[in-house]
Amino acid sequence: MSCWDECPISTYLNDAVTPTVCSDCPTYCRCEKDTNTTCLECMNSTFFFDRVRNQCLLKCPQSTTYSNASETCLSCSPYCLECDGFTEFDCTECIDGLVQFTLPNNKKICVDRNCDPGNYFDEETANCEACAVECEECDGASNSECLSCSYTH
């Protein structure tokens, strides 16, 4: 084993090759002395250990966030591209086609503000709502907010 009695930190004794050498542990990990299959801990506090992936990470993969309880990166809400929690109100960036909207209670949610014809986007509920019957297209609930009139009324 060359000049060492044991391998340096972040390496393991690789006897699968001849001569036996010290090989690198998985990225940013301290591993068991004779195998690289188990990451024991991260090299420093800049990284966090993902127990499921068995690796140290600087940040979770896209559309996931770290859960201290399970010690792994878990999926964000399906509406989120990035998040800092696991509910639809924890998105920090929305998936394509959606925009972040602040509700009256100051919670943020990803919504599609494009409504089907005959509907408008309601700022209070963050939903598409039907136009007044007199309107074919509208910006709000009342018949005074028609963008075009219905020919049946």
How high is the pLDDT of residue 65? 92
Low-confidence residues in the chain, pLDDT < 70: 1-5, 152-153
Q: Which residue has the tokens 């309880």?
A: 69
Cα–Cα distance, 23 to 135 (Å, whole number):
72
Contacts of 69 (CB under 8 A, 6+ apart): none
Q: Is 40 left (phi over 0), alpha (psi -120 to 50) or beta?
A: alpha
pTM of the entire predicted model: 0.62
How high is the pLDDT of residue 8? 84
How high is the pLDDT of residue 1? 44
How high is the pLDDT of residue 40? 86
Cα–Cα distance, 66 to 60 (Å, whole number):
6
Q: Report phi then psi at 145, rounded to 5.
A: -105, 20
